[in-house]
Structure formats: structure tokens, C-alpha cells
Amino acid sequence: MNKKTGGNLEFAPENSPPQAANVSRRVVLGGMMAAVMTTVGLSAEAGTPYSETASPQARIPGGITALRSASPIARTHHTATVLPNGLILITGGVSAHDKTGNSALSSVQLYDPASDSWFEAAPMLTPRSQHTAVALPNGRVVVLGGFHKQLLSSIEVYDPVANAWTYAAPMPTRRRGHAAVLAGEYILVTGGVSKTTLSRVDVLHCDSNTWMSNPAE
């Protein structure tokens, strides 16, 4: 994919990696309580009874969380996306050292729940927080919009095989705090904030890397 204009997102090539098996555990990474957290927790298998004896930070309805190795970077407003190989891709967010919340991270890390290990990945081309990330069937991850000193419309695609990022066609609308979901060959981007709260829906066709929009605001 050309870094400036992109090609298609190679939605489902014939050599797509197999999908990860159903996961019965949930990983909780970072976030904010009284301060930006580095904590990582692994919840018990689905169906495990809720435990009143677990520590407050270890309670999750439906399971019990065991604390794991802390993230090397304390961050909030990031994304965490499971890859087909079972690793978790953590992108962007805001560092604990940023007191303004205006400067986002380009930092990307991979977490392996099986070995409780962290790895550095290639940084994003644009720092961002309050963005979204969508996993494609071919193992790539699409990161959309967010905020870094200003609202962003840019999109990047992570290739875990090459450990590299490339730009895709930017969103028609700059936005942060939005939702993005994969629906067949499309990514639907809804809501969020631009100058005001948005009702606008933008739809990315992954094969052609082109956008369709609902102009309603």
C-alpha cells in the first residue's frame, strides 16, 4: 500500500491466516483510576463465579482477575486488538507523563498472554489517542481517527507480518471517541466528536479503500 494514497486493504487474500480459536479469557490493559495505570489483568474462564474475596482491582463480574506483568508504558485512551496469532496489539493513547492530555503516543506494543511477555512493535506513523482499531480477517489492523493536538481523519493499517504501518484513505470526517466495526467487507464508523457530537456514519469499503457517507449530522 502506498503510504500517501493507499491501495486496497487486502481484505481477505487467499492466504489469510487462520482465525484465532475462541478465547475464554479476557485481558484488561492499562487505563485510568486515580492515575494512568500500567496494570494488566487476566480474567478467569467465562462462567467462573464472581468472587467477593478478590481484591477490588481484581474483581470482574463473571470471573476473577490475576494481575500480570505491567505494561512498559502507562497509558490511557489506547486500543487493544487481538491478532490471529493470539498476541494483543496495543496502540497509541496518552502517557501518564502528559499532564495536558493533548499529546498522544505513537508507541505500539505487543503483549503475549501465553508467556506474559511484552514486545515493542513498529510505531504508528501518526501519534493518536481516543481512536479506534478494527481487526481484518487477513490479520491486519486498521486504526482510525483520534486526537493528537487536533482531531484526526487519518487511517493507518498495521501489517503484523512485516511489522509495518501504511496509510489508507482518510476518513471524510475528523473524529475522536467514535466506534468502528467490521461488517462484511465494510468498516462502519459511527458517532464520536468533531466540532460537536456526531450522528454521521461513514463506511469504508475495504477492498477498494473508498468511503461512502451518510451526510446526516
Q: Residue 153: which CATH number?
A: 2.120.10.80
89 and 36 both lie in a single domain: no
Three-state DSSP state, 57? helix
Lowest mean pLDDT among 7-16, 41-50, 121-130: 41-50
Q: Tens of pLDDT along 200-214?
A: 999 999 999 999 876
Rounded to two decimals, what is the model's pTM?
Answer: 0.73
| Other C-beta atoms lying within 10 Å of the C-beta of residue 12 | 12
Please, are residues 169 and 187 in contact by the beta-carbon 8 Å criterion?
A: no
Domain boundary among 70, 95, 129: 70
Our count of domains for the chain comes to 2
> How far apart are the C-alpha atoms of 140 and 137, rounded to whole Å?
7
210 shares a domain with 143:
yes
Distance CA 36, CA 194 (A): 25
> What is the span of the domain harbouring residue 38?
24-70
Mean pLDDT of the chain: 76
201 and 179 part of one domain = yes
- Residue 81: its pLDDT value, please? 93
